[in-house]
């Protein structure tokens, strides 16, 4: 069927809606875009973010303006700067004429580490997410860091004549905070509370060191999450947290898993 | 270092813990196991589930008994039967000596559909999750169904002389319910509120039908989630729900997305 | 623009093509369907397959008949039986009027294993693919099995006072064979040539056993692939093979990897 | 068991191997690292690469030196520069004392596009892989680009009174070339031979344009791959190619797929 059209192209999303149901989140999902972020030492890191952006839609509004979200990503420098995360969020909520909205950015982040004996430097990669929300003008920020580590099993060590099963594990810490918390700080907490941390380059003396260190620091997933909880409980910058540890067990084809969550404000 | 060992192998997890921190969830994750489930028509369907199982751990307990979770999966028939989902969950919490615990099973589920004009039958596959929790003896059940559909854009249809961009979309409905709700029923709600539903086999007359039907039923993601919310609001079996629609936009390399959530009990 | 239509619906794919370019593969991809397969012991296992199906298209043909592929999946019992794999393939090539074609089915497969000391039985899951081709009437079959195992590092063991880093590894064997080779047989070859195999349930005595066994059988990825190659070289049923080992290193955030391939026919 | 150790830490990989089997590929897999690449216009783009690096291992050598691969990644600027891809590869083969080796880098790549009517600029992201091999001193380079596009079905358009089903599709072109071929050039070939290309930002006039353009350029997967083959056949820079098109069909829950491959040298 032909749709007759004149010089004006109708704006279908701008009509009123009759169902009278608000929508909690409407927007775009899984859009990739270059970004840059300042590190704890001061340097600038270039990386690639995957963005989800949404606003709340009141009952009377029929639809949102999807292209405006993409304009916000493309309207600044080619690379989105994380320093302006709150500003971007407020701009988004403003331009989409909403009272509430949120944005999540997930990106790889690299830290230079020195091997523990040889000192040889190499990068290690971590998965980071920043989540911001504006709820009736108030800004809330949550960050999440996934840190790959070594975990070694205390039971296996105790009961075996020699050796102890160990594996790569993922420790994920999610914190809600009004203050500045560096990615590097959360990474340190996770790495220091695993059996041992990971390195890109390990020379033979380093490999001996990490093998023995993991053996000396046997921990169940229960230990890893509790030890991190002890630290986050006393860190006043942190209002709420979730701590997860997942061991990709070397002796099974499934994972061992533990989670602790706490909201210090809500109790 | 040798670990001297006698005839007894120490039970490392059974000691007391000094950090005095409870763990909200500890258990196993991502274990695959065959299962069977009864369909609405009465037939039995065999499929493969991915299981996550956890219990709560009180502050004084050092660790859980990971192998007991796997014993529960392997202790019945080779195939886990969903009919006994609550029973399995209560057995798990009992055997792990916990007050609370939960289990999530994710599995593909098939429904036979007849093409709309030719009537040729074919299977369509859906992703389903069952989530059960026991909290201090009380059982709560949530089910989630991901339904792939066609969505066609009202704006594109209105403003174009001919054609309208359309795409595959995922509509996901999560409901908490004390009553029996068939997977088939949630699937119907999603399929009836998309622009059109999907079929495995479409002969030419069917392809004409679905093309024109989608064109007649243009819907934004906002419309899809609102129309489903209208229905779930009046379904008394449903205590709480989350409705999501994600369009894999054919004109962009990102998705349009909308979500509505409501808990009728908590308000 | 209206398309005038009469009672006949044009068959667009049946015209001749002017570019005169053959298409090596045309068909459908990533379609899920229930299936069943006989195991080595004789029992029938129900599982879910992901199917890719294609035929070759000669230069003069404009297009294939996509729905016929789906009809072949849906035209038999609800569950596709692997026993008829070659028959399904020949039916596909015939119904699509092609000289050549192929089909790939990927599915999870479960084997019951007894824990090494306690004898407690549990399932372990493996990823299997069957690939069949008909090339001008001749049938060729390739099977691929991904076996998760434990690998323990010889270097780490030699240089450390105690302990040795180990991890979950994936050993993948792909074999082309005119004879019957059981999935269970390829799995055994991989499991026997790792540092140790995996089990779903391990009681304490079993955990001690596997910890010490892995330590006694330290192997690099180079060793794993070479040891399997020695065996496959002498197995006359196997015309060609690819062997891969990937360690998800517990001390790094990357994998160690090795591959050997050999075609005994082509040399 | 204690391993006595002195000041020297044994080099376990340096012994001779008795199985006398060469290994085709040994190295590291799935390591992420920042990189930069020059674009066709001259600018430098920062992105994140996933690297696989391997060498061949002769029968007499027991093992390779895994850490040397990581040293090559970390031994230059923090960001690997693609301009030195062949140099990195030759360095790798040299430092690992091998006759043959290869490297694969997969990374997201962004191109600025102007919306077709409004001219509003926005980025679009593509998945690119570079694969280099040194075989006995000779260097071979292959590049692969995955381009997301719109495809619209000719059959659906012809048989329907109004509308035509369309969807997002992935067109992937892999070319082996001794000459310089810009990513932008391969992207253009794919985008110009789809029903329509994608854009990040589309204002209403642009959405009308792309909707009508796709409708005017209805193509099966068979057409997309043939049209691109016609072009690559006449491009003398290209020695060999593989062309794939995968439609994520909006009316089915599976994909339509086609592939053409040709090696102009081998015939």
- What percentage of chain B exceeds 70 in pLDDT? 94
SS3 per residue for chain D: CCCCCCCCCCCHHHCECCCCCCEEEEEEEEEEEEEEEECCCCCEEEEEEEEEEEEEECCCECCCCHHHHHHHHHCCCCCEEHHHHHHHHHHHHHHCCCCEEEEEEEEEEEEEEECCCCCCEEEEEEEEEEEEEEECCEEEEEEEEEEEEEEECHHHHHHCCCCCCEEEEEEEEEEECCCCCCHHHHHHHHHHCCCEECCCCCCHHHHHHHHHHHHHCCCCHHHHHHHHHHHHHHCCCCCEEEEEEEECCCCCCCEEEEEEEEECCCC
Which of C34, C36, C113, C115 would best serve as a mutation to test chain B binding (most B beta carbons within 10 A)? C34
* pLDDT higher than threshold 90 for residue A80: no
Contact map slice: A 212-231 vs B, CB within 8 A: 220-223, 225-227, 229-230
pLDDT value for D11: 67
Chain C residues touching B33 at Cβ < 8 A: 110, 123, 125
pLDDT tens, residue by residue, A156-182:
999 999 999 999 999 999 999 998 899
Query: What is the rounded CA–CA span in Å between residue C195 and residue C154?
Result: 10
Choose among D155, D252, D260: nearest Cβ to C12: D155
Structural element, H or E, at residue C247? strand C240-247
pLDDT value for D10: 62
Is there a contact between D210 and B251 if contact means CB atoms under 8 Å apart? yes
pLDDT value for D96: 96
As a whole number, the mean pLDDT across chain C is: 93
pLDDT value for B267: 77
The predicted model gives B65-70 an average pLDDT of 96
User: What's the pLDDT band for C10 if we cut at 50, 70, 90?
Assistant: low
pLDDT tens, residue by residue, A196-246:
999 999 999 999 999 999 999 999 999 999 999 999 999 999 999 999 999
Supply the DSSP symbol for A265.
Answer: T
pLDDT value for A3: 42
pLDDT value for A6: 37
Question: Complex ipTM, two decimals?
Answer: 0.93
* pLDDT higher than threshold 90 for residue A257: yes
Residue of B nearest to A70 (CA): B254
pLDDT value for D7: 38
The predicted model gives D247-253 an average pLDDT of 97
Fold of B22-263: Urate Oxidase (3.10.270)
User: What's the pLDDT band for A11 if we cut at 50, 70, 90?
Assistant: low
The predicted model gives C52-79 an average pLDDT of 93
pLDDT value for A2: 39
Is there a contact between D29 and C222 if contact means CB atoms under 8 Å apart? no
B110: closest CA of chain A, how far (Å): 26
Q: Which chains pack against D, by 3+ Cβ pairs within 8 A?
A: A, B, C
Chain C residues touching D27 at Cβ < 8 A: 256-258
Residue of D nearest to C251 (CA): D67
pLDDT tens, residue by residue, B114-170:
999 999 999 999 999 999 999 988 999 999 999 999 999 999 999 999 999 999 999
Could you give the angle at the alpha carbon of C57 between the alpha carbons of C53 and C96, nearest 5°? 55
List phi, psi (to 5°) of A220: -80, 165
pLDDT value for B211: 97
Contact with chain A for residue C211, Cβ under 8 A: yes
Q: What's the pTM?
A: 0.95
Which of C169, C196, C211 would best serve as a mutation to test chain A binding (most A beta carbons within 10 A)? C211
Query: What is the rounded CA–CA span in Å between residue C224 and residue C260?
Result: 10
**CB neighbourhood size of C182 (10 A):** 13
Q: Which chains pack against C, by 3+ Cβ pairs within 8 A?
A: A, B, D
Contact with chain C for residue A196, Cβ under 8 A: yes
Contact with chain A for residue D3, Cβ under 8 A: no
Q: Which residue would you say has higher pLDDT here, C16 or D151?
A: D151
Contact with chain A for residue D237, Cβ under 8 A: no
Quote the strand ranges of C7-137, DSSP E: 23-38, 44-57, 80-81, 100-114, 121-135
The predicted model gives D226-244 an average pLDDT of 97
The predicted model gives B76-82 an average pLDDT of 77
* pLDDT higher than threshold 70 for residue A13: no
User: What's the pLDDT band for B5 if we cut at 50, 70, 90?
Assistant: very low
Is there a contact between B166 and D167 if contact means CB atoms under 8 Å apart? yes
Residue of D nearest to B160 (CA): D208
Tokens of D125: 């992201």
Contact with chain B for residue A251, Cβ under 8 A: no
Contact with chain B for residue D162, Cβ under 8 A: yes
B176: closest CA of chain A, how far (Å): 18
A108: closest CA of chain D, how far (Å): 8
Choose among B162, B168, B251: nearest Cβ to D215: B162
Chain B residues touching C208 at Cβ < 8 A: 9
Contact map slice: B 131-150 vs D, CB within 8 A: 148, 150
Number of A–D residue contacts, CB under 8 Å: 84
As a whole number, the mean pLDDT across chain B is: 93
User: What's the pLDDT band for B3 if we cut at 50, 70, 90?
Assistant: very low
CB A148 within 8 A of CB A170: yes
Highest mean pLDDT among B41-45, B240-244, C80-84: B240-244
pLDDT tens, residue by residue, D2-61:
344 333 556 666 667 888 999 999 999 999 999 999 999 888 999 999 999 999 999 999
Contact with chain C for residue A195, Cβ under 8 A: no
């Amino acid at each position: 069927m032909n749709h007759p059209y004149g010089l004006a192209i109708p704006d279908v999303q701008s009509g009123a809606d009759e169902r009278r149901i608000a929508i909690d989140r409407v927007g775009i999902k899984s859009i990739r875009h270059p970004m840059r972020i300042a590190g704890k030492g001061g340097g600038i890191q270039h990386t690639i973010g995957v963005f989800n952006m949404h606003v709340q839609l009141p009952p009377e509004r029929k639809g949102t303006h999807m292209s405006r979200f993409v304009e916000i990503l493309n309207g600044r420098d080619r690379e989105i700067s994380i320093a302006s995360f709150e500003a971007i969020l407020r701009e988004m909520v403003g331009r989409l004429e909403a009272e509430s909205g949120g944005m999540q950015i997930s990106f790889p982040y690299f830290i230079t580490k020195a091997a523990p004996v040889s000192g040889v430097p190499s990068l290690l990669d971590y998965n980071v997410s920043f989540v911001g929300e504006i709820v009736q003008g108030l800004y809330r920020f949550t960050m999440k860091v996934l840190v790959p580590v070594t975990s070694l099993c205390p039971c296996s060590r105790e009961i075996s004549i020699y050796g102890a099963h160990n594996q790569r594990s993922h420790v994920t810490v999610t914190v809600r905070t009004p203050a500045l918390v560096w990615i590097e700080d959360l990474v340190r907490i996770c790495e220091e509370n695993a059996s041992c941390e990971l390195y890109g380059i390990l020379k033979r003396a380093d490999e001996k060191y990490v093998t023995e260190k993991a053996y000396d620091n046997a921990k169940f997933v229960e230990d890893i999450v509790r030890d991190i909880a002890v630290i986050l409980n006393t860190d006043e910058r942190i209002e709420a947290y979730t701590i997860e540890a997942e061991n990709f067990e070397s002796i099974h084809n499934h994972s061992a898993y533990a989670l602790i969550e706490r909201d210090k404000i809500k109790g």
